[in-house]
Chains A and B, each alone.
Chain A
Amino acid sequence: MIQFVQYLGRTTRTSFTKLGRGTFFLLHTLAGIGDVLPRPRLILNQMYSVGVLSFLIITISGLFVGMVLGLQGYYILSDFGAEETLGVMVAASLVRELGPVVSALLFAGRAGSALTAEIGLMKATEQLSGMEMMAVDPIKRIISPRFLAGLLSMPLLAALFSMIGIIGGFMVGVGLLGVDEGAYWSQMQDSLDFQDDIVNGVIKSLVFGFVATWIALFEGYDTIPTSEGVSRATTRTVVNSAFSILGLDFILTALMFGD
């Protein structure tokens, strides 16, 4: 019994300590952004590995998600004779939910895990301490550019995901199943609002990008510098990012769309 209470206390304390370290790390990273901006080359290189290399998985997943939405939506809507609203259904679900959420989950799996492993290995091979020895702040030099690149890439990836998905839904709905082309677009334009849907979707993806990149970088930076530690940190990145993204999505949706 005593042992259980001890265990509970220890776990609570370590998790709060970790949250505190994470917050401190985040503030340090944000403070480093000012020093990174005059050197866009650093951000550009990271945009390549975080954004460009995620491009393919995002577009292909977006296409298939859109096509499935078109197919499923058609089957359900045709029961009510409302096939014309297929465009609304596909676009609303992509722009509001699936676009930001699924692309953030893919982003955490594709780019976040790579960031954790990269930084974790840098720590394990003592590259980060080497930088400190040379009076180079590793957070400013290594972490901040990656953080900015993740933050900038995420909304672009989410927008691409939604666009490709809507085109995929169009291909299936209009091309294969024979929904009217004009109805697909015009109903979509009538029902979706720029402020309420598109801007809120972009805000969501910015928040997810912020959180997913923060978790990935912190787990890498905070890893136990062994090969086992790096592998555990990578797993934690994917799991914790997925939890945070889905949890935050619920909160953001309740704030944005519950009028």
Chain B
Amino acid sequence: MQHTSTQDTLVGLFVAAGIVGLLFLALQVSGLSAFIKEDTYTVTARFENSGGLKVKSAVSSAGVKIGQVSAIKFDPTTYESVVEMRINSRYNTLPDDTSASIFTAGLLGEQYVNLVPGGSDETLKDGSMIELTQSAIILEKLIGQFLFKSAEEKAETNK
């Protein structure tokens, strides 16, 4: 009898260790806890071009992450990109004339939405729309412009 009860304890310990492993993966590795407990509100913004922005990209203000992109859709009537963002309810004092722009973290980093607060007294609420937006900077376009311009200059000096 002694033997089977030690065996039971070991099996119990094994199962407990396995569950700890699964919890560790869920909470510490995938950061699931950050999602569940925090309330968010949704705002949308229209961009002429949302570039490489993806669902789950960060939304930050003054360099601090305050939310994430929850959906990106294409509006077939205005040909704009409609970006839906979930912002943590703790940060509910953003004025309604906040502007949104898409930046890149570092030269090759991920793209994220940067919010710059304006001066209005009204605040952004669930379902609000951010009016002032600035599109993503497309690196290829910049390089293209630069090359075109330098070629033009060269042609002029050669004349």
Contact = CB atoms under 8 A, between A and B. Distances in A.
Contacts of B14: 47, 51-52, 55, 153, 156
Contacts of B32: 194, 198
Interface in A32-62: 44-45, 47-48, 51-52, 55
A188 B14 CA distance: 26
Interface string B1-33: 000100110110111011111101110111110
A5 B71 CA distance: 60
Contacts of B73: none
Given A156-B19, A156-B21, A189-B34, A166 B11 contact: no
Interface residues of B: mostly helix, strand, loop or mixed? helix
A148 B10 CA distance: 18
A51 B11 contact: yes
A91 B11 contact: no
A167 B20 CA distance: 13
A211 interface: no
B56 A95 contact: no
Interface residues of A: mostly helix, strand, loop or mixed? helix
Interface stretch (A23-31, A71-79, A118-126, A157-165): A157-165
A156 B15 contact: yes
A159 B29 CA distance: 12
Nearest to A164: B21
A221 B31 CA distance: 44
Contacts of A47: 11, 14-15
A193 interface: yes
Contacts of A156: 14-15, 17-19, 21-22
A163 B10 contact: no
A190 B31 contact: yes
Contact of B25 (A45, A153, A163, A185): A163
19 contacts: A44-B8, A44-B11, A47-B15, A51-B11, A51-B15, A55-B14, A55-B17, A91-B29, A95-B29, A156-B15, A156-B18, A159-B25, A162-B29, A188-B29, A188-B31, A189-B30, A194-B26, A194-B35, A198-B29
Interface of A: 44-45, 47-48, 51-52, 55, 91, 95, 153, 155-157, 159-160, 162-164, 166, 185, 188-190, 192-194, 197-198, 201-202
The 6 closest A-B CB pairs, nearest first, are: A156-B18, A189-B31, A159-B21, A163-B21, A194-B30, A160-B21
Given A51-B15, A153-B18, A162-B21, 8 more contacts: A52-B7, A153-B14, A157-B18, A189-B28, A192-B30, A194-B26, A194-B32, A197-B30
